[in-house]
């Protein structure tokens, strides 16, 4: 997912795929990067059977692909005379969207190739057919390749389309089927089993010291917070009197929690947030859901709940529209994003999902960036979690960043460990990176202290997207050139609280041990928290900007670099060598003390090979919003 088409200097400045040129037969136009990187000769398992079935989407370039990239960059750059001169959804479609004759040409070509057209809209034409017909249509052979422990189909060479369609076709997806699988009609499952945090906990950072537990880093440590609330987060990130009034935030995830309205209202009532007004929270949902078991649909209920409650906690007067995907797969998530842009449902879009860059394919990268650029010309900004596995070495064996947050057209949101003190005072932040050591059996030490790495904010350097203009001169070459001589896109762009040990209190209907459903609250974190928190802060900033959309925010985010707009986060905010940790007690069974308790010490600021340092870094980007951030938009 995420890269941009190398069409002109303006597009190049915002990052393009780092791929070698592909060739095509005479009279045909190559679809760059169609063959996945994992489809190698050594992984080849032989030809795919001609009778196998293929389902493709042919993504459309629209009327003026070069103009779209150029205008998206211009309206987003504070230095441009076109800055902030956004188009309506209708104007954007009329100027840059696919024309009917483009849709018709691509549809007719697919039909003439023997494929069956199953759908067509302003974004793509979908079609199905057997392997032999797909090979003929795209002038490539489909073969089977080993990828990890699985075998998937992929083109053996670059796919192409007739040269007459070169101005119509952006990319094709579906020729390779990793990780796509067949789907069928399903209903949403019940919520996951209840999860609760054991005590003791702190009500604010440091309010309760673990005085009976062993010391860590030379001193007694506090218990983890119960979970921050909106009042504490608003104070930490400089909300002031702003509430997000007049601003709409969209949230995209897969599926939809059947109890979201009730849960959000109950949470607000219990935790001091403003009561939802009629129509303030709405949902746009698909007609049906697929792959519910494969995607773990009930787990996405908690994701939606976190996102909604976090946005409302930070921006209590902002409208929230939840746009659910039919599944957790790219096609369905793309459809959700397209709904936001096509109908201009929101100004700000929070997205707490992604994958690792190694699983990214250029076809989907182009399709995602097409959505993001269309959103940019309408004044819509997209915010993506940077990931929860640091440099991803522990989880994948390879140092890499996440997608779509690697896109040069979105704001990548990293994570921190946040200390909010007494009277809601901001104390400090570290980069989010956790190691955990259990309490020894005799209770006198921490076994293997500081323990094993568990999780941390995603970040690092892209292998596929070149450095965008807004990062030039700010991201150090030690990061930008980490993968070679070419400066590449580095993530994240900015950050907010993400550490589950300094996390957010969330309330959700869950399945109790006796099988009944009930509302309960627990602490949660991850960059899935950071993204909606930043979306909420952006809603405050847009209100401060007299309601004018911020749009694609990265150029203005980097323009504020080094100013009082940000907390410059480091892993040692109390000084060199002064490490930080919290004590945490958990129910072994996740619910009550019947199964016993598990006590551990969690160190802060230890994110795999990534480090939060002075200036820009690949854990927190330019930093986290300080009180001067929201107020800085009053002057624009």
37 pLDDT band, cuts 50/70/90, is: confident
- Token digits for 628? 């001067």
Please check the confidence at residue 10 and state whether its pLDDT lies above 50. Answer: no
CA gap 209, 206 in Å, rounded: 6
Please check the confidence at residue 126 and state whether its pLDDT lies above 60. Answer: yes
Distance of CA 268 to the CA centre of its chain: 25
Please check the confidence at residue 298 and state whether its pLDDT lies above 60. Answer: yes
Taking residue 520's Cβ as centre, other Cβ atoms within 10 Å add up to 15
Please check the confidence at residue 2 and state whether its pLDDT lies above 50. Answer: no
Q: What is the mean pLDDT of residues 319-345?
A: 96
* 3 state DSSP class of 260: helix
The domains of the chain are located at: 9-35+37-62+98-173, 230-414+447-568+611-635
Give me the pLDDT at residue 4, please.
Answer: 27
Tens-place pLDDT, residues 38-73: 899 999 999 999 999 999 999 999 999 999 999 999
Nearest CA to 202 among 175, 224, 182, 228?
Answer: 224
CA 475, 477, 482, 483 dihedral sign is: positive
5 pLDDT band, cuts 50/70/90, is: very low
Tens-place pLDDT, residues 504-559: 999 999 999 999 999 999 999 999 999 999 999 999 999 999 999 999 999 999 99
- Token digits for 217? 């880093």
Tens-place pLDDT, residues 457-469: 999 999 999 999 9
**Higher confidence at residue 322 or residue 361?**
322
Extended beta strands in 68-159, E state = 116-120, 124-130, 142-147, 150-155
Give me the pLDDT at residue 11, please.
Answer: 27
Q: What is the mean pLDDT of residues 568-573?
A: 98
CA gap 228, 496 in Å, rounded: 13
Tally the C-alpha atoms within 13 A of residue 123's C-alpha that lie toward its C-beta.
22
Please state the pTM of the whole predicted model.
Answer: 0.94
Give me the pLDDT at residue 34, please.
Answer: 86
Please check the confidence at residue 7 and state whether its pLDDT lies above 50. Answer: no
Domain 230-414+447-568+611-635 belongs to what architecture? 3-Layer(aba) Sandwich (3.40)
Please check the confidence at residue 440 and state whether its pLDDT lies above 70. Answer: yes
**Higher confidence at residue 178 or residue 498?**
498
Q: What is the mean pLDDT of the chain?
A: 93
CA gap 601, 583 in Å, rounded: 4
DSSP states along 224-238: PBS-B-HHHHHHHTT
Burial code (b: 16+ CB inside 10 Å, e: under 16) for 186-195 equals: eeeeebeebb
CA gap 159, 453 in Å, rounded: 42
- Token digits for 370? 């097409």
437 pLDDT band, cuts 50/70/90, is: very high
Extended beta strands in 432-525, E state = 433-438, 452-456, 460-466, 488-491, 494-497, 504-511, 517-524
């Amino acid at each position: 997912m995420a890269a941009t088409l190398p069409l002109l200097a303006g597009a190049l400045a915002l990052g393009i795929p780092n791929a070698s040129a592909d060739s095509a037969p005479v009279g045909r136009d190559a679809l760059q990067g169609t063959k996945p990187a994992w489809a190698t000769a050594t992984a080849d398992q032989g030809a795919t059977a001609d009778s196998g079935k293929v389902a493709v989407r042919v993504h459309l370039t629209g009327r003026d692909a070069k103009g779209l990239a150029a205008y998206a960059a211009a309206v987003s750059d504070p230095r441009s005379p076109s800055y902030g001169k956004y188009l309506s959804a209708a104007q954007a479609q009329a100027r840059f969207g696919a024309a009917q004759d483009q849709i018709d040409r691509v549809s007719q070509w697919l039909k003439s190739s023997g494929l069956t057209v199953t759908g067509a809209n302003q974004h793509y034409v979908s079609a199905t057919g057997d392997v032999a017909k797909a090979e003929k249509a795209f002038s490539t052979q489909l073969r089977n390749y080993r990828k990890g422990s699985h075998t998937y189909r992929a083109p053996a060479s670059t796919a192409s389309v007739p040269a007459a369609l070169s101005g119509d076709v952006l990319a094709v997806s579906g020729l390779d089927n990793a990780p796509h699988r067949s789907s069928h009609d399903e209903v949403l499952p019940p919520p996951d089993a209840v999860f609760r945090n054991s005590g003791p906990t702190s009500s604010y950072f440091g309010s309760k010291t673990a005085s009976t537990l062993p010391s860590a880093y030379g001193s007694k440590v506090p218990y983890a917070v119960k979970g921050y609330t909106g009042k504490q987060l608003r104070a930490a990130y400089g909300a002031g009197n702003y509430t997000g009034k007049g601003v709409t935030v969209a949230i995209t995830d897969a599926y939809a929690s059947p109890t979201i309205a009730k849960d959000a209202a109950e949470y607000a009532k219990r935790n001091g947030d403003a009561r939802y007004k009629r129509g303030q929270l709405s949902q746009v949902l698909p007609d049906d859901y697929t792959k519910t078991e494969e995607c773990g649909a009930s787990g996405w209920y908690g994701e939606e709940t976190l996102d909604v409650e976090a946005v409302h906690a930070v921006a209590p007067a902002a409208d929230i529209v939840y746009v659910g995907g039919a599944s957790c797969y790219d096609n369905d998530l793309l459809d959700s994003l397209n709904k936001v842009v096509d109908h201009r449902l929101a100004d700000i879009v929070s997205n707490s999902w992604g994958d690792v860059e190694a699983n990214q394919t250029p076809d989907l990268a182009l399709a995602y960036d097409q959505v993001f650029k269309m959103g940019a010309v309408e004044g819509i900004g997209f915010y993506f979690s940077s990931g929860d596995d640091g440099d991803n070495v522990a989880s994948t064996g390879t140092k890499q960043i996440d997608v779509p947050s690697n896109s040069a057209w979105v704001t990548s949101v990293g994570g921190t460990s946040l200390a909010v003190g007494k009277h809601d005072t901001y104390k400090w932040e570290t980069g989010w990176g956790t190691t955990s050591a259990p309490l020894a059996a005799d209770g006198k030490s921490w076994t293997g202290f500081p323990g094993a790495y568990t999780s941390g904010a995603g970040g690092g350097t892209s292998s596929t997207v070149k450095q965008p203009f807004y990062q030039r001169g700010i991201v150090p070459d030690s990061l930008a050139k980490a993968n070679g001589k070419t400066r590449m896109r580095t993530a994240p762009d900015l950050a907010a609280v993400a550490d589950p040990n300094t996390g957010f209190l969330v309330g959700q209907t869950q399945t109790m041990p006796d099988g009944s459903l009930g509302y309960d609250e627990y602490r949660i974190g991850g960059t899935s928290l950071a993204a909606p928190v930043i979306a909420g802060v952006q809603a405050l900033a847009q209100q401060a900007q007299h309601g004018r959309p911020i749009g694609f925010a990265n150029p203005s985010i980097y323009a504020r670099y080094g100013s009082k707009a940000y907390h410059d986060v480091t892993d040692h905010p109390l000084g060199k060598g002064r490490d930080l940790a919290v004590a945490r007690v958990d129910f072994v069974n996740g619910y009550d003390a019947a199964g016993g308790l598990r006590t551990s010490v969690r160190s802060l600021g230890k994110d795999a090979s990534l480090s939060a340092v002075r200036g820009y870094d690949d854990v927190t980007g330019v930093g986290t919003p300080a009180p001067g951030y929201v107020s800085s938009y009053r002057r624009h």
